[in-house]
Amino acid sequence: MKVAYLAPSLDISYWQWVYSGVQQEARKHGIKVTRYNANNSPSAQLANVKTAIAAGADMIVIGPVSSTSTPPVLAAAKAAKVPISFAGIGPQPGATDYTSAITADNYRTGVDEGGFICKQAKKRGGNKIGMLSLPQDRENAQKYLRGARESFARDGCKLVQILQSHSLTVSEAVSQTNDLLTAHPDITGIYGMYDAAGTGAAKVLKTRGSVGKIALATADGSPTTVALLKEGAIQGLFLQEAVGQGIQAVTQNVNAMLGKPVKKNVPLAEPLVTTETLNSPEAQKVLRRTYPPSAGPYN
């Protein structure tokens, strides 16, 4: 049997870690894995799907370029009767022609991270928050934002600016954080929606001598942001199981092929980890499903 793993960009560590989970679960079932890189191009993504199907893929795991790019991908998989599961980013709202969508519980995390960063901002004497956001054409980003807005309204914080990423790189996050702090020098909290946002924002806070003066939280988790958490540059890390998403996506596809029950939508929790809880058994267990040991240490 063969599984095709379609990544939006293998230049991003997150999608390499999803691939690690796909490999891990595929080995258990004796399934061969082939990976494809869309380089953030919807047309390349569709070409990859067609190539994978022509090459005899029995199932597909995809992290899409965007949710809006998924209808032709789903149509191709349906026509070929190949089960397809999503990892990390789900399909366009209203879509039904897929096996399973393994994502984070983005809305719940949006609420939780929003509440956390608002509390931290108020401890520092203010209530204004800036946000480094994923592209808002992704359903996961929309859920994060909706949850965050609700928590800010509830807890009395003001979201003064949202800067959407285009490349998901640390250098872009550095530039956007500098823009954010120049435009709003009175903010006391930064909400990061992805790992590089936390890394880039922490770099800027260090350069400006603002570590501890401006609170910082981010989602995802990596050896880099774990180290920044340990040293106090990041106050909160909401862990997203990249490896776990790859494992679950293969599991659900295999279940579909064997006629076993399938879970259509699997929103994985993103628990908060702080400096105080980093070495707890609970946090260490989730970290090992966030990135593989080859990526770096967990504490």
Say whether 202 sits in a helix, a strand or coil: helix
* Successive 10-residue mean pLDDT values, the chain, 299 residues: 97 96 97 98 98 98 96 97 96 94 96 98 98 94 97 98 96 98 98 98 98 97 98 98 98 96 95 97 97 96
Give the domain extent around 247.
2-104+241-269
| Residue 172 maps to a domain | yes
Question: Could you give the number of structural domains in the chain?
Answer: 2
Question: In this structure, is residue 156 part of a structural domain?
Answer: yes
Cβ count within 10 A of residue 98: 23
Same domain flag for 17 and 42: yes
pTM: 0.91
Nearest to 234 by CA among 192, 269, 271: 192
Q: Residue with structure tokens 């996961």?
A: 140
For residue 63, give the CATH number of its domain: 3.40.50.2300
Q: Report if residue 125 sits inside a domain.
A: yes
Q: Are 199 and 111 part of one and the same domain? A: yes
Based on the fold, state whether residues 82 and 116 are members of the same structural domain. no
CB 20 within 8 A of CB 49: no
Q: Residue 126 carries which DSSP code? A: -
Q: Angle 195-208/170-183 helices, nearest 10 degrees?
A: 50
Q: What is the DSSP string of 215-269?
A: EEEEEE--HHHHHHHHHTS-SEEEE--HHHHHHHHHHHHHHHHHT----SEEEE-
Backbone Cα Rg of the chain: 19
Q: What is the pLDDT of residue 192?
A: 98
For residue 278, is it within any domain? no
